[in-house]
Structure 1
Amino acid sequence: MRPTVRIEQSGGDGMRKIRKHLHDVSLEVGILRGKYKPEGDEPARYVAQVAAQNEYGHGRIPSRPFMRNAMRKHKKGIRKGLKRVAQSETRAKSANGQMMRLGMAAQNWVRREITDLRTPPNAPMTIARKRSSNPLIDTGRMRQEIQFRVMNRSGQTI
């Protein structure tokens, strides 16, 4: 399940502009395909797999929804960013710049959530192995791999 933001038309020229621009571009935030590389013996897909298992839970791993929490906590910031996109839509480069700013903010929100999330806590055996009680940080690689990109309709990064 991919997190999404729904835009509902409530009238006004600004909303039409934002809907048009968002039809032409997309913003992706997370561990992005093609953006991360293997490290040592660890295959690149491993980081995304660990992130998904933590986000939704898997087997004995409880759900620790860092992506969903970050987006939920920052709904107002997302709306503000989208409003800035609409206000700058008359200048395409400026609108893309606003999307880039929103992407950077969202990347930072998700990274901060990974750092701050404390529940459910790790099992005592995991805390002893990691020497840390932070449930989502072991080496810090997953947090580091959270990135964003703005893409145009044909799938090219802007």
Structure 2
Amino acid sequence: MGVRIRDTNRIPEAIANIDRINSRSVKIGYISGGEYAGGTLTNKGKARVHEYGVDIPVTDKMRKFWVAKFGVGLKASTTHIRIPERSFLRNGSEQATPAIMAKAAELVPLAILDNVDVELLYEALGLEMRTEIQKYARALQSPPNAPLTVQQKGSSNPLIETGAMLQAMEVILQ
């Protein structure tokens, strides 16, 4: 009668899965495309403006536009129009990170043991982070829109006009 030895050591597979986990990443934000398309600000451009704010220099042409479009003349002393910083990407991701990291702490061991696909792991975490950033942006109320902006948009939410900018946020696996 012979002795049979069966090796169920899965350490090599676990190491390979750890290598796959370490070689991948996910980016959330406005990654592809430019900030302008055909002279028009894209969703990526709008996101940058809101994330960091911008000072727009007032020109004579702009003064005429304001009168024609809004029926409002800009004061002679107005040299810039300020769109304030409304950091929804940085602040939203910072607020969501503890919950996302807790979820990762649950899922990474499963991925190491090959019970969760590494691609699905990153996709799930990226999609959840995007959802949390979008929630943060929808709830953001400060700094508020100027009264003229509220009148034009019909809404006081500073980051929502059509919803297209938030919907354009990407989740890219790398």
Per the TM alignment, residue 104 of structure 1 is displaced from its structure 2 partner at its CA by: 1.1
Please state whether the residue corresponding to 1:110 is helix, strand or coil: helix
Q: Distance in 2 between matches of 1:66 and 1:141?
A: 15
CA contact (8 A) 2:96 2:133 kept: no
Distance 1:52 1:66, change over 3 A: same
The within-5 A match list for 1:71-90 is: 71-87=93-109, 88-90=111-113
Q: Distance in 1 between matches of 2:93 and 2:18?
A: 20
Which residue of 1 is the match for residue 145 of structure 2? 122
Distance 1:18 1:79, change over 3 A: farther
Which residue of 1 is the match for residue 173 of structure 2? 150
Distance 1:78 1:124, change over 3 A: same
Please state whether the residue corresponding to 1:139 is helix, strand or coil: coil
Per the TM alignment, residue 81 of structure 1 is displaced from its structure 2 partner at its CA by: 3.1
Which residue of 2 is the match for residue 91 of structure 1? 114
TM (norm. structure 1) is 0.71
Q: Over aligned residues, Cα RMSD in angstroms?
A: 2.7
- Equivalent in 35, 49, 52 of residue 53 of structure 1: 49
Distance 1:104 1:125, change over 3 A: same
Per the TM alignment, residue 65 of structure 1 is displaced from its structure 2 partner at its CA by: 0.6
CA contact (8 A) 1:81 1:99 kept: no
Q: Which amino acid letter does the alignment assign opposite residue 96 of structure 2?
A: H
Per the TM alignment, residue 84 of structure 1 is displaced from its structure 2 partner at its CA by: 3.4
TM (norm. structure 2) is 0.65
Which residue of 2 is the match for residue 28 of structure 1? 27
Q: Distance in 2 between matches of 1:18 and 1:109?
A: 28
1:65 aligns with 2:90: no
Q: Structure 2 unaligned segments of length 5 or more: list them.
A: 1-14, 56-81
1:131 aligns with 2:154: yes
Identity, % of aligned pairs? Answer: 27
Aligned pairs, number: 131
Per the TM alignment, residue 22 of structure 1 is displaced from its structure 2 partner at its CA by: 4.8
Q: Which amino acid letter does the alignment assign opposite residue 29 of structure 2?
A: G
Per the TM alignment, residue 20 of structure 1 is displaced from its structure 2 partner at its CA by: 4.1
Distance 1:65 1:19, change over 3 A: farther
CA contact (8 A) 1:121 1:133 kept: yes
